[in-house]
Chains A and B, each alone.
Chain A
């Protein structure tokens, strides 16, 4: 089963070819790589860039997978959640290809893509034939038992999910305000580290002390309310930065933003302290919920951009040891950030359930699509 998968949910134009759960190609033309390595991403550009580049990215994904349209069995496309004007571009292209080559279409929820991304398998080595690849699929799947837990941590979403079985989900906790990735980006921004800052914050935090500054752990003592919240932490960080800036007598306070006039070590320590508390909150709430469930649940699937953060992975592993749960992360960090390969993986499971989209002409984007 070969699937051509398209994701234009937000900033990245991505197209992948998957064979079962194997990633044959996964091309991401990111605005970021265009603009600079971690450059800013803006809506007008986002739409224009998707339109200009989607054709090129599809060709590249097909070439990398050494594949032609006649070998493709289904086309998968993200229909939400995401930035409406960006989603449109991918959907339009998917419809076009589906009609032109008479290939069935599968619609995919972007969050389900993140959630199932740990199931993705690398491309087979040359020796393996299709039969072998089936074995790989079975071994991964047979390992994981359901129900299991799932955690999606990205720029736009933070959700703890009960995976009753693949395709049947229940949200156990989600954010009340900001997503984890967004909170990290904004923390970096307050430290004067530009945007998007999550990745930069991680670098800076490696050099700092996580316990140097005291920041309140969100929802501390209220973990049983079972939701995530980052707005209070943002406020506390803002105040802490003001306080620390004021303590640097030689350095004048900066006019345009609160930060900037901090010393290098202060920035490292503030980054580490902020990241520490942001992660502590995630694991505390997750632990509280997991402890309410029978100990027969033994897997936690983790996906989304922040799942690429090594410190977060460390803490999730530590938490999981306590509950005797095995955490599963995507095999590559490229599968954490927005990408189409994970959409192909989610679509593969849908083909197993025969969930094809029937009325293609009526297919529309769903910007607030729920998992």
Chain B
């Protein structure tokens, strides 16, 4: 282990990193542990040093957005976050392109990107031509390192032996670790399983939440005749805050359900009055096929009544049941005035 100050730090660090070594260096947030993120042996060394549980991914540091593009597929949410917050202490998670060493990306193949606002690190990455790991230099569950002694006092001799180079610039100002933002839920594949085009365009304007509830009730009355003969699915599509849950409240009331209907975003599925109505929220789904974990096929064969919020996220699975079930697509969008909503519905 070699301890140096800032002078010649760049040359030393790059040399060590090229040989698969582990470098402890100052960053804008705290002392970080750097290895070449594309070198499997170096990454294994880092995991041994950090004493980190298997399966816990690392973020990588790159110099700019162009370099990030080589390693992740950035969606529009990620791109605007880059523009607004990077360089800076923010880590942005996207789908990885599997161009880094094993153990860097998460189990799901996602990868966190950092663009540090710290000259030395940027210079190191530039000269190395490869991304480095962006992780704190402390061992897992140990204190955040703002000075070298914070690290050395809390690790074993064995761990010390794994460090090849320490760049000591003294005590760093106390800063919080970077904020981690996951953008993968906004991936286009998830957002649009398939565009829903309604043949018959029924459109009404709702002026208030009560109006929306009444429209739901009228729609129920229109399709009630199928009840008990086929499953009935209300597939709700609409931006955040347009009133999908309000619409469901109207349906529940029309079904005579007294129980309070609330947003099922967290628990994903709510069942009212012993199966009189099922209320599913696909907002947190990663893949449309996850609908099967909620016994969707059985709900169809049981001829259940099901409301699905964010149905556009699972439209391909819903459409498989076009024959067996009556599927009413309901699209709610914002209107001109604060409480106005435009509601169209139709059957495919």
- Binary interface profile of A, 39-61, with partner B (CB < 8 Å = 1, else 0)? 11111110100000000000000
Which B residues are in CB contact (< 8 Å) with A12? none
Contact status A261-B265, CB under 8 Å: no
Q: How far is the CA of A259 from the CA of B246 in the complex (A)?
A: 24
> Which residues in window 235-292 of B have CB below 8 A to A?
239-243, 245-246, 259-260, 262-263, 265-271, 284-287, 289-290
Given A35-B107, A156-B267, A237-B241, verify A260-B184 contact (CB < 8 Å). Answer: no
Which A residues are in CB contact (< 8 Å) with B70? none
Which of A190-198, A318-326, A352-360 sits within the interface? A190-198
Contact status B84-A367, CB under 8 Å: no
Q: How far is the CA of A262 from the CA of B81 in the complex (A)?
A: 9
- Binary interface profile of B, 46-88, with partner A (CB < 8 Å = 1, else 0)? 0000000001110100000000000000011101110011000
Q: Tell me, rounded to whole Å, the shortest Cβ–Cβ distance linking A61 to chain B.
A: 15
Partner of B191, one of A43, A179, A236, A256: A256
Partner of A194, one of B93, B263, B265, B285: B93
Partner of A38, one of B182, B285, B290, B338: B182
Contact status A36-B76, CB under 8 Å: no
Q: How far is the CA of A325 from the CA of B183 in the complex (A)?
A: 42
- Binary interface profile of A, 83-98, with partner B (CB < 8 Å = 1, else 0)? 1110000000000000
Contact status B56-A39, CB under 8 Å: no
Q: How far is the CA of A44 from the CA of B112 in the complex (A)?
A: 22
Q: Tell me, rounded to whole Å, the shortest Cβ–Cβ distance linking B307 to chain A.
A: 15
Say yes or no: is A278 at the interface (Cβ < 8 Å to chain B). no
Partner of B77, one of A33, A47, A235, A256: A256
Q: What secondary structure prevails in chain B residues at the interface with A?
A: mixed
Per the CB 8 Å criterion, the residue count for chain A at the interface is 62
Say yes or no: is B180 at the interface (Cβ < 8 Å to chain A). yes
Q: Choose among A47, A236, A257 the residue with the greatest number of B CB atoms under 10 Å from its CB.
A: A257
Q: How far is the CA of A259 from the CA of B265 in the complex (A)?
A: 21
Per the CB 8 Å criterion, the residue count for chain B at the interface is 60
Contact status A182-B240, CB under 8 Å: no
Given A194-B182, A238-B240, A256-B75, verify A34-B106 contact (CB < 8 Å). Answer: yes
Given A82-B267, A84-B269, verify A40-B284 contact (CB < 8 Å). Answer: yes
Contact status A200-B266, CB under 8 Å: no
Say yes or no: is B38 at the interface (Cβ < 8 Å to chain A). no
Which B residues are in CB contact (< 8 Å) with A42? 284-287, 290
Contact status B182-A40, CB under 8 Å: yes
Chain A residue at minimal CB-CB distance from B245: A177
Q: How far is the CA of A32 from the CA of B1 in the complex (A)?
A: 34
Given contacts A44-B287, A235-B338, A238-B334, 17 further A-B contacts (CB under 8 A): A34-B55, A36-B110, A40-B184, A40-B286, A42-B285, A42-B286, A42-B287, A156-B266, A177-B246, A177-B262, A181-B266, A190-B240, A194-B81, A238-B239, A256-B186, A256-B188, A267-B84
What are 16 A-B contacts with C-beta separation under 8 Å? A10-B267, A34-B107, A42-B286, A43-B284, A47-B293, A84-B267, A176-B262, A194-B92, A195-B284, A238-B241, A256-B76, A257-B76, A260-B76, A260-B80, A264-B85, A267-B84
